[in-house]
Structure formats: C-alpha cells, structure tokens
Structure 1
Amino acid sequence: MLGCVIHGQDDLRVEELASPTPGPGQVLVAVRYGGVCGSDLHYWRHGGVGDFRLREPMVLGHEVVGTAVTGPLAGQAVAVHPATPCGVCPECADGRRNVCRDTRYLGSAARLPHVQGGFAAEIVVPAEQIRLLPDGLEQRRAALAEPLSVALHAVRRAGPVAGRHVLVTGAGPIGCLVVAAAKAAGAAHVTVTDLLPTALAYARAAGADTVVRADDPADPGWPGEVDVAVEASGVAAGLEACLRRVRRGGVVVQLGMLPPGQSPFAGNLVVSREIELRGAFRFDTEFDDALALLARPSTGDAFDALVSAVVPVREAESAFALAADRGKSCKVLLDFGVG
C-alpha cells in the first residue's frame, strides 16, 4: 500500500508500506481522504513543529476518514479521532484530555518512537478512536472534522459568543473554520483579517460578515471594538490586533501556534483593560460535535467551499506545495482511493 513518509526537511516520499494487522482492541481502516494540515507542512518544510523535531522517518497525517475494514463497523464510513489520551494524568482526571501530558497523536514527533500518522492506504487505530459518519455526511466533507474540532474548541474557550461580535485574525483553513464555528454558535457578526485576498474570499465563503486587509490600517472594515477575538494566524501581529480591538473585559483566545521562543505582545493592555487571554489546544469531545455540524444540510455549502483541491496520493508533494500556497488554496485533501 502507499503512504506519505517524511524523512527530513524537504524530504517527503510516497512509499510502498506493509499493510498493518490489527491487534486486540484495534480496527483496520481503509483511508480514503487525508487533509494536509499546517503541522504536516511544518514537518515537510522545516523538519519539525516547534520543539518537536523529526528523529526518524514518520508517516504524516492526522485528518483522515475512510471505511472500517474490521470491527463492529466493518464496511461503514468512519472518521478517526487522532488522539489517544493516557486517561490517568491530572489533566485527564480533570476532564481536560486535550492537554494530556502523555497523549499519543497521529503523525506526531513529540515522542520517540514517533506516532505514525494516517497518510497511508490502510491504518490501524484503537477502536475508541473510530467514529461512524452521520447519515448523509460524505467522506470528502467529513475530512474537515479534525480541523473543525480545533475551531469548535477555540470558540468554546471564548465562552458564550451568541449575539456578539467576534474578530478572527488569520484566514487560513483553521481561521475559516473558526468563522463557521462562531456563526454556528450564534455570533452576530464575524470580522476576519488576513494579508491575502484569496484567503479572505475563503473566509467570506465560510460565513464572515466583514473581511479586512490586515496590512491596511485604513481599511474601513476594521471594527472599533469587538467582544471576542480569536488569534488564528500564529504571528505576533495577529495577537496585537486582537488585544487592541477587543473591548475592556473581553476575551482573546490564542489558537495559532506562535513561533518558537519569545513573542512580544501588548501585555499592559491585558492588565489595564482586564482582558482575559486564553489558550486553545487541539480538542476532545468536539470531534463528535464537528461531525454533527458537518452533517447539517444548512452548513454544507460553506464547508464544501473550503476544500480547494483533492489530489491523488501519488502526487503528494504537489499537494503539499499547493497547500503551502495560501494564495491558491485553503484545505487540500489527499485521495488514497485512486492510483
């Protein structure tokens, strides 16, 4: 079977891999689609994500859907929750399994041996990570479940957003899904900023009410103030915009992963305006909520518009190059069901 294996910086290979055999409590899944994530791109372009560096070849990918081959759901379309929390650490005991200190996450170099990912024609995962797709949800759209879960968790970290004005800085795939998640949660108005017109067009498709060029302080779309801000760009300038635009006593959620090391930010505003600055990392039960939201007929067009390309697995490197070009794409999927 074919799989996408990263060997080091700029060294992505589509290789023939041995088909896995499920053990007790595991399920064999025939993967159909895998979404190329920002972390996959970091492994490809930089040989690591933050402090997590590649130390051995690793199958990439953690946004995967397909068909269960074994187990009670054999023959049915499923999505794969990519996290396996330890279940015993203080965070798991406190109901915050998304920040488990000993979790295993598909396609992650955080531990050695690395946790092999889902970009392979067949994978084996713990049975508890398998989710049956809701009726009517096709696999192509279901491939957005993992990144949408990240967005849903970020919106929940912000607290109630119904009837409120939400600012989202960064209109990459996650930022656009934050727009959709905020609108689904009842946000009255969502403003999105980015540097690229193409990215802002995707934000519009996701449901943004106003889009703003982040590099144009005179853009009339800039709000005077907002109730909630979600930083999804992963750059210090985005956090600065959130802190300066959120109202006194408002909430800023840092979702984008900032560069390694120290990042400057307007800390005095956090004090003088009593702004609540909260982090958002991955997700837990939001995965099931994401599948339910994706299955709603009323939300289908917005999500489908974010899938900008579906590329055969044999052309993985061109798919990664397209996914890295934010002027041309939003979410790019690898197709493991074609030659």
Structure 2
Amino acid sequence: MRMFVMAAGLVAMSGQALAADLPLKAAKAPVPAFDPWDIAFGGAVMSDYVFRGITQSNHQPSVAAYFEPRYNVNKDLQLYIGTSAESISFANHAAAEIDIYGGVRPTFGAVALDFGLWGYLYPGGQCQESFPGGVAVCPPGSPLANGPDFTQIKKDLSFYEGYAKINWTINDSFALGANEYYTPSFLNSGAWGDYASVTAKATAPAKWFGSSGVGAYLSAEVGRQWFGTTDAFYRVTAAPVGIAYPSYNTWNIGIAFTYKAFTLDLRYSDTNLSKGDCAALTSAFNADIPGNITAINPNGFGSNWCGATGIVKLSADLTAMTNLK
C-alpha cells in the first residue's frame, strides 16, 4: 500500500512537470470594434475655378473647402452627406457657391459606384441686364424692360442635379470611369441639362520616387453637356419664349503630384463653345469681344470664359479615421 501511494505521487509530479513543459496557447488578440463613422474634409486654392470647361471665377484665383460625414454600413457600402463652398465671380454678383449633397457608394470588387443628389446654391445674387451705356437691376423672374437682345441673368441661379458614377480600378496603375448628371433646370434657367463624361487615370509606380512618399498620376476627362430651351426670361427677338442653350464638348488633361494628404494638380481645360455662345450661356459681365453674333447672341459680344485655360490647384484631403488618430 505504501509503495502504491509513493508511485501515485511520482506519477502526479511527473504529470505536473510534463504539463509545465507544454507550450501555452497564445491568448487571442481582441478584435478592434468596427467603427462605421468617418469624416472626410479638406480645402483647396486654385488659379481658376473651372466647371465643365467654363470658368466660375472670371479666370481669377478661387478657394474651396468641404466637409463630408460618412457612414460605412460595411466594407462595401457607404452612405454620405456633405457640404462644400467655392469662391466665384458670377454675372449676377453672387460671390460664393454653396453645395449640399448626399448619396450612396456601393463597391463590387474593383468597381465602385456612386449615386446621389447635388444641390448648387448661389446666395447674394442680383438680377442683371447689361446694355449699351450701363447695367440695370431687373425684377426677379420677370421679362426685362429694355428689350430681349442684351445680356441677362437671374437673381437666383440655384439648381440641383442627380448623378451616377462608376469607377473601375483595373490594377494599381490604371483606372477608368464614367459620370452622368441630370438637372431639370440648369442654373435655374428652365433649360434641362445633361452632362456625361468618361475619365482615365494612370498612376506612376511607387518605386519611381523611392521612399520619399511622393506619388504622381496622369488623368483626363472628355465630356459633353446637352441643354434644352430656357424659359422666357432668357430670350432674343428670334426666340421670344426662350433660347436653346448650346450643347458643347469639353475636355481636360493634367498631371498631379501627391504627398501625404496634399495634391498639386496642373491641368489644361478647354471647350468647343464659340465666344458668342459662351457669352449667351454665361451672361459674362465682361463680354466685350465684338463680331461674335450667333442665333442666341444678336449683339455679337463674345466672352473667353469658355476657352482654353491652364489651372494650378493645391489641395489637402483628410479623413478623421486615418489622419486624426
């Protein structure tokens, strides 16, 4: 009996020693909690604010800023709302563009989609009519008193667009995209507007810049803007109930350099709009190029607001979850 007890003790001690020699299983690292909320924000300064090939700042410098809260339903579905502001120089003396937008961004592998609604607000505007000898302020929304064949623009140019976008990231170097925007009343003119474009982007290999953190890419866009007919506020003698805004093509190409949250973009932009049609479409307050008579511009003064221009833009884009942790 005594021998049995001693043997049992030796077995127990041996078992404890063997257990001590066994490797312990590593404790599982805690899985970080998924935080679906994020905020994107940033700003830019540019030599010219160009929208679909047409300057919004009279070819003068402009500043911009944006703020965009986001909610990630999962890794492939994002909801967002946002607001942005840009300094402008419009013919109705509005000095700022305020944008309010929102939508949804679903992702399917290498294909990213974006659907939403974008509102453009232009506070501080005044109804204007330019005519030989001066500028008159006209009653909002009413026909002009001095005749139809002069430059005209409404006090309120605010409007909205629905949009759909697709971007296909082919690989780390190349991406293709397409965009579609539609509004029932472009710049509150009464003329419907439809804009469609295709885009391409080629990103330089990271090894080109070593460990500097600098990146670069080439990008380009080719688009077409279609228009309907305005309401009677914009009229000429030959079209007393509204003018058919001229549809046009636009394109831009540029190179951009990136470093952390900053991007320096150097871009060329142009359209095929004539100077006369440009003046009628934009109501440019400095349209003074004679000899540009068109069907919707009987006075013949043209504008360079829709012509070729170079743009230098420095921007910063950050997100709270990435840059502010």
Same fold (TM over 0.5): no
Query: Which has the bigger relative contact order, CA under 8 A and spacing at least 6?
Result: 1
User: Higher Cα Rg: structure 1 or 2?
Assistant: 2
Q: Provide the TM-score with structure 1 as the length reference.
A: 0.26
Please state which structure has a larger fraction of its residues in helix.
1
Please state which structure has a larger fraction of its residues in strand.
2
